Amino acid sequence: MAELLDGKRIVVTGGTGSLGKTLVKRFLSGEHGTPNSVVVFSRDEAKQHDMRMEYLQRRVATEDVTYHNFERTLQFVIGDIRDFHAVAQVLVNADIVINAAALKQVPSSEYFPYEAVRTNIEGAENIVRAITELRLPVETVLGVSTDKACKPTTAMGMTKAVQERIFLSANLRCPATRFIVVRYGNVLASRGSVIPLFIDQIQNGGPVTITDPRMTRFLLTLEQAVDTVTVALCDSKRGEILIPRIPAALITDIAKTLIADEPCTQKVIGLRPGEKLHETLVSDEEAPRTVKRGDYFAVLSLLPEISPTNPTTPALVGELSSESFVMSFKQTAELLEKNGLSKNNRANASSNELLR
């Protein structure tokens, strides 16, 4: 794995998001080899500018910062995953494509479901179409999915489930390119997750709102999310979904740890529309096609042309649910402490700073 990225030209769509930024940082670290270029493709020029300034460790945008974009290893391209021509152009010289572009806010996707279709489904199809029609020599495309794509109950989950199918079936349309997917649940303190919400509520005196005291969630750090991507790039076979084997926690234990000794209470407000009580990373239907892969599970393709047989000894006998892997309160508190989310560690940090 040390030479995984040597000389590679990598494109990260949605590269200014929480995961995208951490991925780019890892790719540029040299831990997995030295890439020829890492291109961040997204539509937000302000976020790209902030990321460029952080990369160059500069506070003032002088001419040498704002220009020379394509002379550096880290490059920025403005474009929309929904725009086929923009996608095709950025993929022309790519060896590896990481698709982290997504509409992931559940309520927004419910109010505007076709917007989720355009980004999460049509965006993925644009990548596959560009490689197919232009015969681009892309080696690997990796799609970043979510637990909400497994047994989906929301528009966001449904569109991500279709995105998985688009990428995995593309192995038949583009036999020279390997298409793979990673799927995981809550990423600790990522943009839009519950932890920044709880921290804001605590800082404003509470209450901390709990939808249901029985609720559980898988917990994954940003670094673990990036590890999942790099392991998939190294080991995953065509048409596979790679899933990390991670612990889960009661939402009430997360809230209790973050509150600590603050004069703040928890308030149960009831499940939101479409919200799941527990997360599922592998469904009952996928379990017979699931194998162990080190610290991960790999779900083999449903299509017999890609994975001709099911494993003789599946790794799971039923669904992989957060309800079955709940940590104790002590373990939950230790995990949050280790990741800088205890009261002491965040005393002087805003929730925005925790997202960097």
Question: Does the annotation count 148 as an active-site position?
Answer: yes
Which phi-psi region, left, alpha or beta, contains residue 311 (left: φ > 0; alpha: ψ -120 to 50)?
A: beta
CB-based contact 195:145 (threshold 8 Å): no
Which phi-psi region, left, alpha or beta, contains residue 151 (left: φ > 0; alpha: ψ -120 to 50)?
A: left
The one catalytic residue in 21, 104, 148, 151 is 148
- CA-CA-CA-CA dihedral for 158, 10, 240, 26, to nearest 10: -90
Which of 72, 56, 21 has its CA nearest to residue 42?
A: 21
- 3-state SS, one letter per residue, for the chain: CCCCCCCCEEEEECCCCHHHHHHHHHHHCCECECCCEEEEEECCHHHHHHHHHHHHCCCCCCHHHHCCHHHCCEEEEECCCCCHHHHHHHHCCCCEEEECCCCCCHHHHHHCHHHHHHHHHHHHHHHHHHHHHCCCCCCEEEEEEEHHHCCCCCHHHHHHHHHHHHHHHHHHHCCCCEEEEEEECCECCCCCCHHHHHHHHHHCCCCEEECCCCCEEECECHHHHHHHHHHHHHHCCCCCEEEECCCEEEHHHHHHHHHCCCCCCEEECCCCCCCCCCCEEECCCCHHHEEEECCEEEECCCCCCCCCCCCCCCCCCCCEEHHHCECCHHHHHHHHHHCCCCCCCCCCCCHHHHCC
User: What are the residue numbers of the active site?
Assistant: 148
